[in-house]
Amino acid sequence: MSAEKTNQSWGGRFSEPVDAFVARFTASVDFDKRLYRHDIMGSIAHATMLEQAGVLSIAERDAIIDGLTQIQAEIEAGQFDWRVDLEDVHMNIEARLTDRIGITGKKLHTGRSRNDQVATDIRLWLRDEIDVIIKEITRLQEGLLEQAEQHADVIMPGFTHLQTAQPVSFGHHLLAWFEMLSRDHERLVDCRKRVNRMPLGSAALAGTTYPIQREITCRLLGFEAIGGNSLDGVSDRDFAIEFCAAASLAMMHLSRFSEELVLWTSAQFNFIELPDRFCTGSSIMPQKKNPDVPELVRGKSGRVFGALTGLLTLMKGQPLAYNKDNQEDKEPLFDAADTLRDSLRAFADMVPALKPRVEVMREAARRGFSTATDLADYLVRRGLPFRDCHEIVGHAVKYGVATGKDLAEMSLDELRQFSDQIGDDVFAVLTLEGSVNARDHIGGTAPAQVRAAVARGKALLAAR
């Protein structure tokens, strides 16, 4: 077989075909074929620009666009023959175009290189992926707002060091996740701005001698800006690394959320119930109901962290401009986007269906002296220094541990043995409701503040 037959795009310089194993080893078509839609989109815009620049005739442009449209239909119908010997998605589509429309198909690549072509395709693809991911974040946030509004008055223990700290509203706790996701949304929106810069026209590395008009392709493809340096245009993968960094943070948040759901569904906590459709059973223990979705999302965070580390490592030693190393950028990027999107989708489906066990949460909040700080604050308002109050309440807690009584369960006489400043109005601050309602400020856990935060959250989502 001739080199020209095997390597249709670049075989002229070679005297023998590429080794069969090397052809498979260096080919990317098995994974980059998912870029087909964006590759065709970019090619149509490029052909349109070439005609307006006088490089192609109107008839040639129309033949190319018609051929590419038919090829996209073939691919989406599952009738396209992907060939490893053609290396990648770009050459597979170009070869098929030439089969369809003849020599005119070979003119499509005028004024561009696979270097700027693939850089453009990835940006177009990632731009669309970010848009889908952003929608899933919003959908998950809508579910959190719904649950927070419905359960603003439900009291649960708040934790530090996984020890009972102070009572909080269940709705308030869920809104912490809303805040994290808001930051994830902001990061991805900001990341999208740098993704949406067009490298097409950089050609192999130095630009092209043809009279291209990059403003035309920029407008047709919906890019916000044109890359200002051709060397950087073909070799930059910062945008992919930045996306994986944002995705890693989002997956870290989902992993933390997952950890809480796993704890809360355990028999030891029993705070919430997950619907059966998000759980699985055991092949040997019939009583088991395993929180597989949160556990799997928690585990999948490692895949995205790995993608970020892999891309940083991929790029750290590369000189300008394009290098074959960059073929390795796609699989981790694809996997990171797929993993984040699917994890968000699973959570967006699951969160609205969570059912808190209200009485169990309340009873847990009653244990662990969660209103101890409220008693200290009560004494401060009576004129005592906070450090003295801290010590007084510490003795009261020590007494409670010894007697098995929570602060609210002690009699007034029992409490007064620690300070004669304690009056019979103390019980209003020792109740769970009193503790939660007292934190009535922006960002606080009072139910009124939770409802106000929900309103602000709804307004934020409506403005997107």
Residues 50-105 pLDDT 10s: 999 999 999 999 999 999 999 999 999 999 999 999 999 999 999 999 999 999 99
pLDDT at 180 over 50: yes
Share above pLDDT 90 across residues of the chain, in percent, rounded to a whole number: 88
pLDDT at 7: 56
161 is catalytic: yes
pLDDT at 234 over 70: yes
Helix/strand/coil for 107: helix
Output DSSP code: residue 287: T
Residues 147 and 358: beta-carbon distance below 8 Å: no
Q: For the purposes of burial, counting CB atoms within 10 Å of the CB of 209, is it exposed (0-12), middle (13-18) or buried (19 or more)?
A: exposed
Among candidate residues 2, 57, 282, 395, the one labeled active-site is: 282
* Alpha helix (H) residue ranges in 328-446: 330-350, 358-366, 372-381, 386-403, 412-416, 427-430, 432-438
Position 11 confidence tier, pLDDT thresholds 50, 70, 90:
low
- The CATH number corresponding to 115-362 among 1.20.1260.10, 1.10.10.10, 3.40.30.10, 1.20.200.10 equals 1.20.200.10
Distances (CA, A) of 317 to 237, 311, 323: 13, 11, 11
pLDDT at 9: 64
Q: What is the pLDDT of residues 417-438, one digit of tens each?
A: 999 999 999 998 899 999 999 9
Superfamily of domain 369-462: Fumarase/aspartase (C-terminal domain) (1.10.40.30)
Q: Give the count of alpha carbons within 13 A of 263, CB side only.
A: 9
The closest alpha carbon to 148, from 434, 459, 462, 455, belongs to 455
Q: Name 115's Cβ contacts closer than 8 Å, sequence gap at least 6.
A: 202, 203, 204, 205, 234, 321, 322
Mean pLDDT (the chain) is: 94
Q: What is the pLDDT of residues 263-314, one digit of tens each?
A: 999 999 999 999 889 888 877 887 878 999 999 999 999 999 999 999 999 9
**Higher per-residue confidence, 7 vs 136:** 136
Mean pLDDT of 104-120: 98
390 is catalytic: no
Output DSSP code: residue 290: B
Structural domain boundaries of the chain? 3-110, 115-362, 369-462
Is 1.10.275.10 the CATH number for 3-110?
Answer: yes
What sign does the CA torsion over 220, 225, 227, 228 have? positive
Position 163 confidence tier, pLDDT thresholds 50, 70, 90:
very high
The rounded distance, in Å, linking the Cα atoms of 374 and 79 is 70
Q: What is the pLDDT of residues 189-219, one digit of tens each?
A: 999 999 999 999 999 999 999 999 999 999 9
Evaluate the omega torsion of the peptide bond into residue 73 and state whether it is cis, within 30 degrees of 0.
no
The closest alpha carbon to 105, from 90, 95, 115, 117, belongs to 95
Q: How many CB atoms lie within 10 A of CB 69?
A: 12
pLDDT at 458 over 80: yes
Q: What is the CA radius of gyration of the chain?
A: 31
Output DSSP code: residue 280: B
pLDDT at 454: 98
Least confident of 23-27, 120-124, 130-134, 182-186: 23-27
* Phi, psi of 131, rounded to the nearest 5 degrees: -60, -40
pLDDT at 4: 43
Residues 167 and 184: beta-carbon distance below 8 Å: no
Among candidate residues 15, 161, 283, 411, the one labeled active-site is: 161
pLDDT at 2: 43
Position 10 confidence tier, pLDDT thresholds 50, 70, 90:
low
pLDDT at 1: 39
